[in-house]
Homo-oligomer: A and B are copies of this chain.
Amino acid sequence: MVKVGIVGYGYWGKNLVRNFNALDNCELVYVCEKNPSLSEKCAKLYPNLKVVSDYEVLLNDDSISAIVIATPVDSHYPLSKLALEAGKNVLVEKPLTSSVEEAEHLYSLAKSKDLLLMVDHTFLYTGAVQLMKKKVDTKTIGNLQYIDSTRINLGLFQHDVNVLWDLAAHDISICLHLTGKVPVSVDAIGVSHTPNGIENIAFLTLKFEDNLIAHFNCSWVSPVKIRQMLIGGDEKMILYNDNEPTEKIKIYDTGFEAKTSEDRRRMLVDYRTGDINVPKIQNNEALSLMALDFINCIQNGGTPVSSAELGVTVVKILEAAQKSINNNESEVLIQNNESEVLMK
């Protein structure tokens, strides 16, 4: 039985504690939380758990083989490093770290110690994304041509990272998962409406080989909440609306074909529309499946769906996006040397 300690009982930590506590094939032993009011609440709700404020306790308990980190981004690296060095398998909240250098260091460290490093990109475990992954992998929609995502709402302004690190992290993970490819270039543009200069609106565009383009529109200052992604193939197209309670995915039998003859104006391209299919989606809790994947991979080996490789690549793209914003929206090339291997 894998014994687990969770660090952080904030907004997301609560959800992780609830899910790991309910899993059958692991035992959640510790919750580490420095804030007294939070640790008190945790202790009251889970009398079976040991709630501590000192991270060392978890590191020094040899019965603990897995650490789950749900703390602010800038603490991901030091906490993960200590855990890996203490021989623990590690699950980290997204994004993995706040720099590529840190991310790659953690990745190498885990590899060298033969430990599991995993990032909690929860969306990859939703029924909607799993269904889209199947449609893409089986070429049901043909060759991917574009991904166009809008993830906007009136949201909490983060004090340390911009809207891309907060919101686009989700889109990038879904995009990498669906395509299985690392982008060639990154282009980003944004604006800040607060004195701290952190972008609260930003647009990120990834270019892949074979004319595949992905665009992510992220905002903390939209009056309406939109969670919408279009995935265009050359044979079918998918509309993924995460706001819909049940009809999240619509598959359009829609395509177009460039014709060779160019006799008549405006007729260069034929397009076709057919039926729409709205598949039934499994309604499992994604976070529970993510936790299960983590424990299963510790017990049985194997690579989790939300792998360290994918997590490193997400950070690479976010860092490149920041660079692009800082350099007046110029295109930033992604060095695919290693990460391309990683994504395979």
Interface residues, chain A, with chain B CB atoms under 8 Å away: 47, 72, 145-146, 148, 150, 152, 154, 156-159, 185, 187, 189-196, 201, 203, 205, 207, 211-213, 215, 217, 219, 221-224, 230, 232, 234, 237, 239, 247, 250, 252-254, 256, 258, 260, 262, 265-269, 271, 273-280, 328-331
Contacts and interface: CB of A to CB of B under 8 A. Distances in A.
Contacts of A145: 191, 193, 221
Given A276-B277, A278-B276, A154 B222 contact: no
B266 A157 contact: yes
A191 B280 contact: no
Contacts of A150: 150
B157 A268 contact: yes
23 contacts: A72-B265, A145-B191, A145-B193, A145-B221, A146-B219, A148-B201, A148-B219, A156-B266, A191-B212, A191-B213, A193-B211, A193-B256, A194-B258, A196-B258, A201-B213, A203-B205, A222-B232, A222-B237, A223-B232, A224-B230, A273-B280, A328-B330, A330-B331
Contacts of A274: 280
A276 to B, nearest CB: 4
Nearest to A224: B239
A278 B278 contact: yes
Closest 7 CB pairs of A and B: A223-B252, A276-B278, A157-B269, A223-B237, A194-B258, A191-B213, A223-B254
A60 to B, nearest CB: 28
Contacts of A239: 223-224
Where chain A touches its partner, the secondary structure class is strand
A207 B190 CA distance: 9
B221 A256 contact: yes
Contacts of A212: 191
A275 B230 CA distance: 19
A189 B330 CA distance: 11
A196 to B, nearest CB: 7
Contacts of A230: 152, 222-224
Contacts of A277: 275-278
A264 B132 CA distance: 38
A250 to B, nearest CB: 8
